[in-house]
Amino acid sequence: MVFKFLKRLGDPNHPLLGPTVFALRYGGLWQKDRVKNFLYLSVHFAAFLFVISQYVELWIIRENLEMAMRNLSLTMLSTVCVCKACNLVFWQDSWKEIIDYVSDTEKMQLLKRDKTVTNIILDYIKYARRVTYFYWCLVTATVFTVILAPVFIYWSSATYRESVRNGTAPYPEIMSSWIPMDRTRGIGFWIATLYQMFVTIYGGTVVANFDSTAVVIMTFFAGQLKVLSVNCENLFGDGNELVSYNEALKRIKDCHLHHFYMMKFSSLLNDLLSPVMFLYVIICSLMICASAVQLTTEGTGNMQRIWIAEYLMALIAQLFLYCWHSNDVLYMSKQVDDGVYGSAWWSQNVRIRRSILLLGGQLRSSITFTAGPFTMLDMATFVAILKGSYSYYTLLAKKED
């Protein structure tokens, strides 16, 4: 039944992005209807207020390092979630422009029925589906882990259960946030719990939609660079094909425009992603370190360690997905001009060879995705963040000793 549902997510109007467009629409991040738009904006505003309440609570408990670190780990992630939601809602016209370009390009190429190009497109669509569904499963597991962690913590310790029953310890909570009533007992506890459950599910929906959309579009650019390289290599067939001057110029022009539009829309995508990724890279560096400290703290229970480990895995997986796919696009963009020089350029006259040189020069322009103005999203950055987080962890561990 699950496979049938996933198969239905395919959309002929969006060969690659069918599942992600479906998720964006039904996740409340893209809406045209005014009534629905108002309702979803109210949901986004409620999530924004919750993040503010987390910072208020962080200020209140700032003297307790253990509680503050647990609050901070989720508060920072909530902040990124709200930024991602705002990015999708406020700049949805730019996102739709990119998605329309992706879908129109693929539909046009599939209509030509070129076997090699079609196989490349179908291969990266299949890969993108696997990545999307795997990531959705990871986010779903993280959401359930966060929501159910207080229950497991409560039942895993008889001493803690007794302390809760006699009133010396509060009920376990999903996230640390402030509300204008006593949230440790009675109606205040249930209001806070329901609010926190709602925000956790909301955050998981936003993260799953934003990240899968961005990563799948990166997959599109990597795949289209392969298509462009193949088209450049087949500009003049095997050298024995008779290609007129006008036909040769048309093929060169098509390759030129293909690369030009990829550069244009990849730049637009980078403009949308770069501010969010800059914030996420900074927060991820700090949170990996903080989670490692919590894992090795003696007062941390076994169930809390499991929760922290799953949370840490989700953090690293998010960062890895972006860096890996961005690195793949960068690598392919540096290899695409090989197709020009692998073509039968020697079979053409001097005027065509000059045009080929100009095309080869244009194809040397690399497609890069950045995290703010300071660093590129690639595997070198991913490794550097892990090394930096480990360095911060060793400093904090020595300070505690």
Give the model confidence (pLDDT) of 209-257 as tens digits: 999 999 999 999 999 999 999 988 888 877 677 777 888 888 889 999 9
Range of the domain at 16: 2-400
What's the whole-number average pLDDT of the chain?
83
What is the pLDDT, as a whole number, of residue 297? 63
Answer yes or no: is pLDDT of 270 > 60.
yes
Q: Which residue has the higher pLDDT, 362 or 392?
A: 362
Q: How many helices (H) and strands (E) does the chain have?
A: 13, 2
Mean pLDDT, residues 294-308: 64
Q: Is residue 14 helix, strand or coil?
A: strand
Residue 365, phi-psi category: left (phi > 0), alpha (psi -120 to 50), beta (remainder): beta
What is the pLDDT, as a whole number, of residue 283? 82
Per-residue pLDDT tens digits for 86-137: 899 889 889 999 999 999 999 999 988 888 899 999 999 999 999 999 889 8
Q: Which residue has the higher pLDDT, 22 or 155?
A: 22
What is the pLDDT, as a whole number, of residue 298? 53
Per-residue pLDDT tens digits for 135-176: 898 888 888 888 887 777 777 777 777 777 777 777 777 787
Question: And the tokens for 167?
Answer: 């009133």
**Cβ contact 170:117 at 8 Å:** no
> Band of the pLDDT at 188, cuts 50, 70, 90?
confident
What is the pLDDT, as a whole number, of residue 300? 57
Tell me which residue of 83, 92, 70, 197 sits closest to 143, measured CA to CA: 197
Q: Is residue 235 helix, strand or coil?
A: coil
Answer yes or no: is pLDDT of 390 > 90.
no
Q: Is residue 170 helix, strand or coil?
A: coil
d(CA 106, CA 18): 12
What is the pLDDT, as a whole number, of residue 30? 77
Tell me which residue of 116, 122, 137 sits closest to 15, measured CA to CA: 122
Q: How many domains does the chain have?
A: 1
Answer yes or no: is pLDDT of 3 > 70.
no
**Cβ contact 96:269 at 8 Å:** no
Tell me which residue of 360, 366, 288 sits closest to 326, measured CA to CA: 366
Answer yes or no: is pLDDT of 35 > 70.
no
Global pTM exceeds 0.85: yes
Instruction: Give every CB contact of residue 357 below 8 A, 6+ residues apart in sequence.
Output: none
Answer yes or no: is pLDDT of 265 > 90.
yes
d(CA 385, CA 380): 9
d(CA 34, CA 39): 9
Chain-centre distance for alpha carbon 209 = 8
Q: How far is CA 42 from CA 47, 167, 197, 355, in A?
A: 9, 36, 17, 55
Answer yes or no: is pLDDT of 33 > 70.
no
What is the pLDDT, as a whole number, of residue 364? 87
CA 39, 42, 47, 50 dihedral sign is negative
Dihedral, CA atoms, 391, 392, 394, 400, nearest 10 degrees? 170
Mean pLDDT, residues 377-392: 81
